[in-house]
Amino acid sequence: MRIPSGCSRLETTAIVDKVKGLIFGAILGDSLGLATEGLTRSEVRAIYGDGPIRFGMDEDGIPFHRDEYRSKFEENDFGDDAEQVLLVMESLFENGGHFLPKDFASRLFSYGEHGIKNLHKLPTGMNATNQAVLANPTYKTSPQQAAIEVWKTKNNLRGANGALVRAPLLGALKFWDGTTVIENTTECCRVTHPDPRCMISCVIASTLIARLLRGQDLEIEISHSPTPSIDQQHQPPFNYFIDTLPVNDRLQALVRNVVETNKPMLIAPQTDALFITPETDMNQMQKYYHQLVDYCVPSSLGDLALDDSADCRDTFKCLSAALYCLTREVEKRTQMLLLLVPCWVPDLDTVNYLLSGWLG
C-alpha cells in the first residue's frame, strides 16, 4: 500500500510502525483476554485475585486458569478474534490491498470448517452470530443475504460485538480516504452482522484508527491539565481503579468528534448508500441512536454494567469500554490498561483486542 504524500501529520515510518503495533497489539490483547473471557467479576477475583495474570515469557503472576473452555487453547494462544484479523490480512494480500467482501466471506467460511491455513488448529470460541450465519445454506453464494436472514430470525444474536474485531485493520487500509474506510468497514460487517448497532460500532472503531493514523489527535489543542475522570466532590465509591484516573482530553475530544460525526447514520440509514441496514423501524433506530450517545462517553466504567451476563457481548458496551480505557491518562498506557481491565470485563478478549489495536 502506497501512502500518499501529505495525507498525515505523521512521518511514513511512524505510520508503518503504528500499523504494525495495531496488528500485534490486537493479537496480544486477544491472547491476554482469553484468561477471563466468559467469567463473571466474582469468578475472576476468586481465580486471579488482584493479579497480574501470568503471560508470555514472564514467570511471575497468577497462572492461566484452565477450565474446560480454556483447556482448548495452547499456552500463550489466541482466539477467533485474532484469527479473524488474520483472515482480513490474508484477503487483502491476495487481492492487491483491496477489500473484497465476497472473498473475505469465502475465507471466513473455509476458516469455520478448517481453521487458519498453516496454524493446524480448528477455530475455537467462534462467536454465536458467525456460527449461525456460516451455517445458513445460502451463505456460500450470498453471504450478506444469509446474514440478513439470520438477523431476521434470531433476535438473541442481534447487536453482538463479533464484527468489531475486523474494524481496526480496515481503518488502517487507505486511512487517508474516509469514505473508503467506511465503505470497507460496513461491507465487512454486513458479511455476518448487518444489525445497525454493529455497523455503527465498526464505523466508529475504524474511523478512529484512520484519524489517529492521519495524526488528527495532534491537531487538538488542550490548554489545561487532564480532567479528573469523576467529580471528586461528588465521588461515588469506585468499582474500578481505572475510574480514578484522569481523562486524556485530546483523545477524549477525538473520540467524541468521531462519534458525533458518524452517529447521524443511525437515524438516516436508508439515505446513506454506505449504511444500508435491514432495520426499517425508525423508532427502533432512534432508540439505538440514544443508546450510542449514552454509552460511548460514560462517566465511569461501572456505568456500562459490564458484568451483566445478559448483554455482556453487546457491541455498544464493548466499544464503549475500549473507548473509555483509551481516553484515560496513564503512563505506559499499554501495559497498565491491559492489566487493569482483565479482572472486570467478561468479554475481555474483544475489549482488549480493540484497545490494544488503538494503542498500537
Can you list the alpha helix ranges (DSSP code H) found in the chain?
Answer: 12-33, 41-48, 80-94, 101-114, 128-135, 143-153, 167-172, 178-190, 196-213, 249-262, 282-296, 315-326, 333-340, 348-359
CA distances from 208 to 169, 176, 271 (A): 11, 12, 23
Helix axes 101-114, 178-190, angle to 10 degrees: 40
Quote the CA–CA distance of 223 and 219 in Å, as a whole number.
13
249 annotated ligand-binding residue: no
80, three cell numbers: 477467533
81 annotated ligand-binding residue: yes
Beta carbons of 128 and 154 less than 8 angstroms apart: no
The torsion region of residue 36 among left (phi > 0), alpha (psi -120 to 50) and beta comes to: alpha
Residue with cell 505523521: 10
- Please enumerate, by residue number, every residue annotated as part of a binding site: 80-81
Binding-site residues for Mg(2+) sit at 80-81
